[in-house]
Structure 1
Amino acid sequence: MTYIANLACKRSSWFMLMLSAFTLEVTALIFQYQMDLAPCIMCIYQRTAVLGIFIAGLIGLTNPNNTLIRISAYVIWSISTIWGYFLAVEHIDMQTTTDVFAYTCGIVPNFPSFMPLHEWIPIFFSAPGDCGEISWQFLDLSMPVWMKIIFSIYSVTLITIISSNLFKKRI
Structure 2
Amino acid sequence: MHNKIDVRGIQLDQALTLLEQALTAEKHASLEIQSSEQENTTALLKALAEHGASCEVLQAEEGQTIIASFAAEQVMKQKSYVVGSDTLGKGDDVIGHKLMNAFFNVSSDYEQAPASIFFMNTAAKLCVEGADALAALQKLEEKGTEIIVCGTCLDFFGIKDKLAVGRIGTMHDLIGIYHNQKEVISL
TM-score by length of 2: 0.24
Greater relative contact order: 1 or 2 (C-alpha under 8 angstroms, separation 6 or more)? 1
Pair member with larger Rg: 2
Structure holding more strand per residue: 2
Structure holding more helix per residue: 1
